[in-house]
Amino acid sequence: MLGWRLLISAILVPAFAGLFWLDHRSGPAAPVLFLLCQVLAIRSTWEFCDLVTVRNLRPRFACAAVGSSLVVVAAWLIPWFGEAPALRETGPAGLILSACVLWLLGSLASQAVRFRAPGSEMETSASELLAVVYCGVLLAMTAQSRWLQGGAWGYLALGALVITVKSGDIGGYTLGRLFGRRKMAPHLSPGKTWAGFVGALLGAALGGWLWLRFATPWLAGPEWAVAHGRAIAWGLTFGLIGLVGDLCESLIKRDVGRKDAAALFPGFGGLLDLLDSVIYAGPVAWLWWLIWPPISAS
């Protein structure tokens, strides 16, 4: 299993680096990243709807996919039409929330038109809303890191998020397999141990610091350098947040009686199993860089 994780990571990291390079060459509107986020949002929404179709939950994939796609579009309105004063005043978070609310109004109206008898309409609405928030809103908020410092920090911040969280995942898995004895959350994720918890923090701190140490001059420019204390705090914090994100997806799977989302990658399960910790940590990472960036002027 560890071998599969390392192999998939060795394929995905260069692939994302190539996508970022293409996105950089295509301009500040980030069309390549937009297409990537649309694909990720729609595929993960399908996996989510498939995952939670149990009991009285009957989420409509088409309806939820429209909502996830709309919030990703909202995340790009300022890069596309940034001269409009209303967009600037609303801000990216306001635009994403507005798109989600407008979709919810339309979804409820469509269910009101279709209603014939009491049944599972409220459960359906709730599961669709959760799908849009989990698969669309979290991803759209994560993508806002692309325009940090006018775009100058974008790829550095996105790379720091992915590298830190996935280093924590690998560190947690490795130490958990080698030294794990005491279960951390047996009802949610029987494989998680306290040794794995320590490994996740150490792996994330090391991976995040190494990325920021060597990638900052390259991606942000020679005028910026890693702030070592803040970088370690970044790694430890997002090692923890990534672990919580993984447990939250486990909560969804355990409650509906499933082990994994629809299989996509060997060793990872579905796309949701790959993205869970990243999109959970993504909105917090964006705010972290706005308030207390782990780099400083050299």
Q: Which of 104, 127, 135 is nearest to 39 (CA)?
A: 135
Q: pTM to 2 decimals?
A: 0.93
pLDDT of residue 12: 66
What pLDDT sits at residue 293?
97
pLDDT at 99 over 80: yes
- Residue 101 to residue 91: CA distance in whole angstroms: 15
> What is the structure's pLDDT at 2?
54
- Contacts of residue 256, defined as CB under 8 A and 6 or more positions apart, other chains included, come to 51, 52, 54, 55, 57
pLDDT score recorded for residue 266: 56
Number of folded domains that form the chain: 1
What is the predicted pLDDT for the residue at 6? Answer: 61
State the pLDDT at residue 3. 59
Q: What is the mean pLDDT of residues 182-191?
A: 88
Residue closest to 136 by CA, chosen among 63, 31, 32: 63
Domain that holds residue 87: 2-297
Q: Render pLDDT for 69-88 as a digit per residue (tens, 0 to 9).
A: 999 999 999 999 987 888 88
Residue 78 identity (one-letter amino acid): I
Cα 274 from Cα 290, distance rounded (Å): 26
pLDDT higher than threshold 80 for residue 46: yes
Q: What is the CA radius of gyration of the chain?
A: 20
Average the pLDDT over each of 76-80, 84-88, 226-230, 266-270 and give the range with the smallest value.
266-270
